[in-house]
Amino acid sequence: MTVRETVDAKKTRFGKSELKALFADATKLVVAKGKKVREFDPAKDSAADIAAAALGPSGNLRAPAIRAGKTWYIGFNEDAYAQRFG
């Protein structure tokens, strides 16, 4: 597994209008929000549902945001990261 890209969402702000371009080639999004982890398929799930999960209270992309292949991991959940990154 090779991590192709990391995004420092604290330094580079991504709002709702940038999400479509950011996730353009993604096949899966794993979004952690507290203890909840949800998976999205950008080709099937609505942009509004993805934005509601992926954006924090400030309206910016949750941190951290990591792209591994065609999967994005957004927000932090120890179990989700351990499952993917060991």
Tens place of pLDDT for every residue, the chain, 86 residues? 455 566 665 666 677 878 989 899 999 999 998 889 999 999 999 999 999 999 998 888 998 888 989 999 999 988 888 888 77
Sorted by sequence, the CB contacts under 8 Å of residue 28 that are 6+ apart come out as 39, 40, 41, 42, 70, 71, 72
Main-chain dihedrals φ then ψ at residue 25, nearest 5 degrees: -105, 10
Q: Are 9 and 60 in contact (CB under 8 A)?
A: yes
Q: Are 60 and 19 in contact (CB under 8 A)?
A: no
Domain ranges (residues) in the chain: 3-85
Tokens at residue 83, please?
A: 């499952």
